[in-house]
Amino acid sequence: MTKGLQLTNLQVSIDEKQILNGVSLTLKPGELHAIMGPNGSGKSTLAYALAGHPSYTILSGSKVTLDGEDIIELSPDERAQKGLFLAFQYPVEVPGVSVQNFLRQAYQARFASEPNRQFKTVLAFRNHLKAIAQELKIDETFLRRGLNEGFSGGEKKQLEILQLAVLEPKYVILDETDSGLDIDAIKKVAKAVAVLQKKFSLGVLVITHYQRILQYLKPDVVHVLVAGKIKQSGGPELVEKLEKSGYTTLKD
């Protein structure tokens, strides 16, 4: 069995229009891969298709396996239960629900099939959550905030990071995590991701148009997506090269 999130010749279409034209990569446990590419190259399509979003059709001949198991036919919830996490997969605007209650529900759903992982009391879960918040340097008062109370960009990311820590996924896909964030918020997100990556031997796929977050999260592999295909893969040095010369100078 191949441990990892393995994409083989992934082809995806939206409304009959093919967007991804055969993407292949293997993200192993504990590795961090970055997917970079110009606007419209298919980065978000890749993230949504992996999450199992119903608008995206995965074409025949494509293969996606998670630790050896084919996940293409699985629902988004089933994928989550297998340990795949997408930052934007969960709605954040739920009126009248606090951060901690939202996270408790998410936890219960994630570990529904593992009775020995359930907490016996609400208080026991809250203590678990407090410990996580402390580890990630997130203020405890944030846990009592309401989900509909107008989160700033940085606070939304903070919630995503908490979700990530609570759900203990094996593989995580972060799409455009650094867009619209100030440098302190980016650093905070990056640090939290690094902590979790180590703690859970998490495989991380960072999808980004910018290189900013990659100054704080060192990728093992960088893939450049152009027109729905990986045009080039390399080490972290590729990030600087792209920053200097842009996407257009890449050789075919």
Residue nearest to Mg ion (CB): 44
37 binds, among ligand ADP, Mg ion, none (CB under 5 to 8 A by kind): ligand ADP
Our CA angle for 213, 169, 55, nearest 5°, is 80
Nearer to ligand ADP, 56 or 107 (CB): 56
Q: Minimal distance in Å, beta carbon 205 to ligand ADP? A: 13
Tokens 């991701």 belong to 193
Encoded tokens for 207: 């999808």
Identity of the residue, 131 or 227, whose beta carbon is nearer to ligand ADP in the bound complex: 227
Judged by CB under 5 A, does residue 18 bind Mg ion? Answer: no
* Cβ 43 to ligand ADP shortest distance, Å: 3
Degrees (nearest 5) of the Cα angle 71, 114, 65?
Answer: 15
Instruction: Tell me whether residue 160 or residue 175 sits nearer to ligand ADP (CB atom).
Output: 175
- Binding partner of residue 4 among ligand ADP, Mg ion, none, CB under 5 to 8 Å per kind? none
DSSP string covering 179-233, please?
TT--HHHHHHHHHHHHHHHHHHT-EEEEEESSSGGGGTS--SEEEEEETTEEEEE
Nearer Cβ to ligand ADP (44/232): 44
Candidates 41-49, 72-80, 125-133, 143-151: pick the segment binding Mg ion (CB under 5 A).
41-49
Q: CA nearest 138: which of 185, 194, 204?
A: 185
User: What is the distance between the alpha carbons of residues 71 and 169, in angstroms, rounded to a whole number?
Assistant: 15
- Which entry of ligand ADP, Mg ion, none binds 45, CB below 5 to 8 A by partner kind? ligand ADP
- The answer to whether 180 contacts ligand ADP (rule: CB under 6 A) is no
Q: Which stretch binds Mg ion (CB under 5 A): 38-46, 51-59, 107-115, 241-249?
A: 38-46
Within 3-42, the residues that bind ligand ADP by CB under 6 A are 14-15, 17, 19, 37, 39-42
Residues 38-97 that bind ligand ADP (CB under 6 A): 39-45
Contact 59, 231 (CB under 8 A): no
44 sits near Mg ion (criterion: CB under 5 A): yes
120 binds, among Mg ion, ligand ADP, none (CB under 5 to 8 A by kind): none
Quote the distance between the C-alpha of residue 70 and its chain's center.
19
The secondary structure of 129-149 as a DSSP string is HHHHHHHTT--GGGGGSBTTS
Residue 42's Cβ-count burial label (10 Å; 0-12, 13-18, 19+) is: buried
Binding residues (CB under 5 A) for Mg ion: these are 43-44
Binding residues (CB under 6 A) for ligand ADP: these are 14-15, 17, 19, 37, 39-45
